[in-house]
């Protein structure tokens, strides 16, 4: 055999590189005009997984514009080469193409006047929920003459494509996300045109597991048929099983979640929202999930059986229409008992539950709803509950891809649900919007929001559908033919609501710090019209009310985003300047809220400042002391005021505090302060089932008391002493009683005594401070 026969074949390296790059090169264009386009454009379409699947034709029957045929591209065969250098070069080329996808698409967007532009979220943004509401325009500016359809898809095909309408150059869509990075592609097509205009963004989704979930539960009677109400409409032939109820309720919850996240973002508070517990189950977010039995991780809907029959539920809930408070409370209590038993709640645990009553019925003869209860709030110390009936569930979308269809369905209903604005359920879409929005308002009550002057907590919840539409249908409530939905027409959460949600436990993100355990707010009078406010967890806002105000329309926000404010001074004249001229002389009530979720109510700021000072010394230069706002209700029988000014605070006395005796049992009976000369001062009473304990001061280090940690509700349950050397005594009294309040003397002041009231034990407590 010759030498040349055994030598490896020779290759031209430049030729290999050219062939390798050609094999993987793609021409990324935002426009494809016909089936005769070059193969490079077809490669691009195939590579990002945006081909319209055959089944989409069946899903678009309600909109004739969706029948437009989108040409199917074909991928030419890749050239093969066994040389390892060629393979490495090809892989590197493909990686470069993937890396440059967004830059290339953004560059091409300027070449097309019809490229979809997402306007409410940036590329590579992070979100914290599964279903994201996106909004955008076609081209650089929305044009009133541009209509068509928008196809939303994923290159990895982890979720089927969905189709959304485009009106007036604007669109809104619900995007289903998975944990981690998500590439989402948008394709716009005008009616009658084969041309497609494309763009793409990358979104990162993380599920904040360090936040408690909003649990979803369906309440059923013990003899329930496990179906929801079949109201005679054009939709009466639909499935009304419990499984369908789960799908519709879950979809409504996803709409709540995505809407709230968008509202938080619009208020510059981050795209935060509540999360749901999830389970691996049959998917219900796309019609294809149901038809093909696709499994997904979806929001879990618990089925909770109540110890009541259908008849008993309907009888008790009729109390809401009859204003029978005792019967209403009885039903709420039985629902809460069923939920506590189902979740096996231990003492001290909290649950947040949005519940749907599946056995609600619309009585056509009496024109009344039976088995419905609208309730939102806290039941006991452990359960936050938002409850609503299922009488409108028939009109809810079953999947997120059906949201627009449900909110534009003008089929008439036989329901006559009247509120001040008129019949809110005259058409199918109005019934869906009212049911989903009204239940969301109950969730607002669950989160601690009061009734507001405007927003979801007022009457805006009946237009919740506008958040997901760019064009509204005919309304029987307003007798309007509908039309474009402008941003100013969309419903909102009130600003005070979203401020409160920013630091609510349900809205906590993975990057948030562990919240300070004491969320209480305290007020310290420091002048004739000045109130120093302190909050260890940080101050959130101060709401200002005048006499006769039902809603808050004036408030002060404190800096956030890394600028936590733990103390501020309320000056009465300055607060009055913020009020309308006609209200500046009225009695003023202020509610100060902390980031920890607690609130301090100041009934009359002027009177509080005027009555909280006392003289420690006499003469023209008398030294003044001020009382902090009290903890405890002072409502025990035979309760009497108590006050002790420490001997060490008086200029004529030279004494050193050496120890404190605490008298306690399941509450605090009294405190006795001992001095080095053998004298003592008693605040409250000597007694207590557990006897007494003594806390000794370290006088060698000049240790003094700088505050107290107090557990209190209606009275003083327990107390702990805090000193200048950062020492803390034991907790004396009932350690798990009441709520925690940390009273620390503000900087620039010192403790000079204690004040409060006492009956059989202490039922209020405050500090005396001086400069």
My answer on whether 602 and 466 are in the same domain is no
Residue 4 maps to a domain:
no
Q: 399: which DSSP letter?
A: S
Residue 529 and residue 480 share a domain:
no
Q: How far apart are CA 570 and CA 590, in angstroms?
A: 10
Is a pLDDT exceeding 60 seen at residue 60?
no
- Least Cα distance to 69 among 197, 193, 198, 199 occurs for 193
Residue 510 lies in a domain: no
Mapping DSSP to helix (H, G, I), strand (E, B) and coil, where does residue 61 land? coil
- Across 192-318, the runs of DSSP E, i.e. the strands, are 196-205, 214-220, 278-282, 295-299, 301-305
Q: What is the CATH number of the domain that holds 52?
A: 2.60.40.10
Q: What is the CA radius of gyration of the chain?
A: 33
pLDDT at 23 over 60: no
Q: Which of 669, 729, 672 is nearest to 697 (CA)?
A: 729
CA 536 to mean position of chain CA atoms: 23
pLDDT on residue 157: 93
In this prediction, residues 184-201 reach a mean pLDDT of 92
Arithmetic mean of pLDDT over the chain? 83
The CATH number given to whatever domain includes residue 664 is 2.100.10.30
Take residue 66 and report the two structure tokens written for it. Answer: 């969706």
Q: Taking residues 669-682, report their average pLDDT.
A: 91
Residue 319 and residue 176 share a domain: no
pLDDT classification of 10: cutoffs 50, 70, 90 = very low
Q: Do 192 and 271 belong to one domain?
A: no
Sheet with 522-527: list strands edge to edge: 522-527, 530-534, 567-571
What tens digit of pLDDT does each residue of 395-423 get? Answer: 999 999 999 999 999 999 888 887 776 78
190 with 218, same domain? no
In tens, the pLDDT along 607-640 reads 888 887 788 766 556 778 888 998 998 889 889 9
Calpha distance 281→298 (Å, rounded): 7
Is the pLDDT at 72 greater than 70? The verdict is no
Query: With contact defined as beta carbons under 8 Å apart, do 260 and 493 qualify?
Result: yes
Beta strands in 17-62 (DSSP E): 31-32
Residue 705 in contact with residue 699, Cβ under 8 Å? no
Looking at the fold, whether 574 and 670 belong to one and the same domain comes out as: no
Predicted local distance difference test score (pLDDT) of residue 322: 64
- Helix axis angle for 495-502 and 242-266, nearest 10°, is 100
Within a domain: residue 511?
A: no
- The answer to which of 42-56, 159-173, 222-236 has the lowest mean pLDDT is 42-56
Nearest CA to 166 out of 238, 112, 243, 114 is that of 114
> At which of 505, 540, 570 does a domain end?
505
602 lies in the same domain as 718: no
Q: Is 191 exposed, middle or buried (0-12, 13-18, 19+ CB in 10 A)?
A: middle
Question: What is the rounded distance in angstroms from the CA atom of residue 218 to the CA atom of residue 357?
Answer: 6
Does 271 share its domain with 390? Answer: yes
pLDDT greater than 50 at residue 105: no
pLDDT of residue 110: 47
Return the pLDDT at 367.
77
State the pLDDT at residue 415. 82
Domain tally for the chain? 4
Rounded average pLDDT over 659-688: 91
Residues 158 and 245 reside in one and the same domain: no
Checking if the pLDDT of 36 tops 90, the result is: no
pLDDT value at residue 99: 47
Domain boundary among 177, 205, 233: 205
Region of residue 532 (phi > 0: left; psi between -120 and 50: alpha; otherwise: beta): beta
Evaluated on CA atoms 163, 164, 168, 172, the torsion sign reads negative
* Nearest CA among 719, 592, 729 for reference residue 665: 719
State whether 716 and 591 are in the same domain.
Answer: no
The DSSP output letter for 690 is T
Q: Beta strand 170-176 with 148-153: parallel, antiparallel or unpaired?
A: unpaired
Query: What are the φ and ψ backbone dihedral angles of 555, each rounded to 5 degrees?
Result: -155, 165
Nearest Cα residue to 353 out of 248, 217, 261, 250: 217
Residue 447: closest CA among 506, 534, 368: 506
Q: In angstroms, how far is the first alpha carbon of the chain from the final one?
A: 107
Position 459 scores a pLDDT of: 87
Same domain, residue pair 188 and 219: no
Residue 11 has pLDDT above 60, yes or no: no
> With contact defined as beta carbons under 8 Å apart, do 626 and 526 qualify?
yes
Q: What is the 3-state secondary structure (H, E, C) of 429-497?
A: HHHHHHHHHHHHHHHHHHCCCCCCCCCCCCCHHHHHHHHHCCEECCECCCCECCEECCHHHCCCCCHHH
pLDDT at residue 20 is higher than 80 = no
Residue 515 lies in a domain: no
- Express each pLDDT in 724-747 by its tens digit: 999 999 999 998 888 889 999 988
Most confident of 145-149, 170-174, 367-371: 170-174
Is pLDDT at 25 greater than 70 in this prediction?
no
| Structure-block tokens of residue 378 | 């806290």
**Cβ pair 390, 356 in contact under 8 A:** yes
Q: Does the pLDDT of residue 437 top 90, yes or no?
A: yes
The whole-number pLDDT of residue 319 equals 59
pLDDT digits over 465-509, tens only? 999 999 999 998 988 888 999 999 999 999 999 999 999 999 998
In a domain, 21, yes or no: yes
Domain final residue, candidates 205, 240, 272: 205
Which secondary-structure segment (H or E) carries 40? helix 39-47
Interacting residues of 626 by C-beta distance below 8 A, sequence separation 6+? 524, 525, 526, 612, 613, 614, 768, 769, 770
In this structure, is residue 347 part of a structural domain?
yes
Residue 6 lies in a domain: no
The CA-CA-CA angle for residues 201, 125, 271, to 5°, reads: 125
The whole domain housing 573 covers: 522-609
Question: Is residue 70 in some structural domain?
Answer: yes
165 shares its domain with 270: no
Token pair listed for 152: 């939303």
pLDDT band per the 50, 70, 90 thresholds, residue 96: very low
């Amino acid at each position: 055999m010759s030498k040349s026969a055994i030598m490896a074949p020779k290759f031209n390296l430049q030729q290999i590189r050219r062939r390798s790059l050609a094999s993987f090169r793609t021409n990324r264009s935002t426009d494809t005009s016909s089936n005769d386009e070059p193969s490079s454009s077809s490669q691009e379409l195939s590579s990002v997984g945006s081909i319209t699947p055959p089944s989409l034709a069946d899903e678009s029957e309600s909109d004739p514009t969706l029948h437009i045929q989108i040409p199917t591209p074909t991928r030419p065969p890749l050239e093969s080469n066994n040389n390892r250098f060629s393979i490495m070069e090809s892989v590197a080329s493909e990686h470069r193409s993937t890396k440059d996808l967004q830059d290339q698409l953004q560059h091409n967007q300027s070449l097309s006047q019809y490229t979809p532009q997402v306007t409410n979220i940036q590329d590579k943004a992070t979100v914290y929920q599964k279903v994201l509401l996106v909004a955008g325009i076609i081209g650089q500016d929305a044009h009133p003459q541009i209509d068509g359809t928008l196809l939303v898809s994923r290159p990895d095909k982890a979720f089927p494509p969905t189709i959304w309408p485009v009106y007036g150059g604007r669109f809104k869509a619900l995007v289903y996300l998975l944990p981690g990075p998500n590439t989402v592609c948008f394709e716009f097509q005008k009616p009658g045109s084969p041309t497609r205009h494309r763009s793409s963004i990358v979104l990162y989704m993380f599920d904040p597991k360090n936040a408690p979930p909003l649990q979803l539960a369906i309440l059923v009677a013990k003899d329930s048929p496990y179906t929801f109400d079949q109201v005679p409409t054009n939709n009466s032939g639909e499935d009304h099983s419990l499984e369908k109820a789960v799908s519709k309720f879950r979809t409504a919850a996803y709409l709540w979640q995505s809407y709230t996240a968008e509202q938080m973002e619009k208020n510059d508070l981050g795209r935060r929202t509540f999360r749901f517990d999830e389970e691996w189950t049959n998917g219900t977010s796309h019609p294809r999930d149901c038809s093909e039995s696709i499994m997904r991780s979806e929001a879990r809907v618990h089925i909770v059986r109540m110890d009541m029959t259908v008849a008993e539920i309907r009888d008790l809930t009729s109390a809401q229409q009859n204003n029978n408070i005792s019967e209403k409370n009885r039903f709420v209590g039985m629902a809460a008992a069923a939920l506590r038993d189902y979740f096996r709640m231990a003492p001290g645990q909290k649950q947040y539950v949005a519940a749907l009553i599946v056995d609600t019925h619309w009585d056509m003869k009496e024109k009344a709803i039976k088995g419905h209860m609208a309730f939102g709030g806290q039941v006991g110390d452990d359960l936050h509950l938002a409850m609503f009936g299922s009488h409108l569930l028939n009109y809810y979308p079953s999947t997120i891809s059906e949201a627009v269809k449900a909110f534009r369905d003008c089929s008439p209903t036989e329901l006559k649900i009247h509120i001040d604005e008129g019949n809110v359920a005259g058409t199918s879409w109005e019934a869906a919007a009212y049911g989903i929005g009204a239940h969301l308002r109950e969730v607002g009550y669950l989160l601690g929001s009061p009734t507001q002057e405007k927003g979801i907590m007022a009457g805006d919840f009946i237009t919740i559908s506008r958040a997901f539409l760019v064009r509204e249908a005919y309304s029987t409530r307003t007798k309007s033919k509908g039309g474009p939905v402008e941003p100013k027409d969309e419903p909102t959460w009130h600003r005070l609501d979203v401020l409160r949600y920013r630091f609510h436990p349900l809205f906590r993100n993975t990057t948030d710090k562990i919240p300070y355990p004491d969320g209480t707010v305290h007020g310290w009078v420091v002048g004739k019209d000045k109130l120093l406010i302190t909050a260890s967890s940080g101050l959130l806002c101060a709401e200002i009310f005048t006499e006769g105000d039902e809603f808050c329309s004036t408030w002060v926000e404190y800096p956030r985003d890394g600028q936590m404010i733990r103390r501020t001074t309320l000056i009465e004249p300055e607060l009055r300047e913020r009020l309308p001229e006609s209200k500046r002389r009225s009695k003023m009530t202020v509610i100060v809220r902390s980031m920890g979720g607690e609130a301090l109510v100041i009934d009359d700021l002027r009177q509080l400042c005027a009555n909280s000072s006392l003289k420690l010394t006499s003469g023209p230069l008398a030294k003044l002391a001020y009382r902090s706002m009290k903890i405890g209700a002072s409502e025990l029988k035979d309760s009497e005021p108590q006050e002790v000014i420490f001997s060490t605070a008086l200029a004529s006395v030279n004494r050193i505090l050496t120890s404190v005796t605490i008298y306690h049992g399941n509450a605090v009976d009294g405190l006795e302060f001992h001095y080095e000369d053998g004298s003592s001062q008693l605040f409250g009473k000597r007694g207590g089932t557990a006897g007494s304990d003594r806390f000794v001061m370290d006088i060698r280090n000049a240790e003094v008391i700088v505050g107290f940690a107090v557990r209190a509700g209606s009275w003083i349950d327990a107390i702990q002493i805090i000193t200048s050397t950062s020492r803390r005594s034991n907790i004396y009294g009932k350690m798990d009683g009441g709520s925690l309040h940390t009273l620390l003397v503000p900087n620039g002041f010192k403790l000079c005594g204690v004040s409060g009231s006492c009956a059989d034990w202490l039922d209020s407590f405050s500090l005396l401070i001086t400069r």
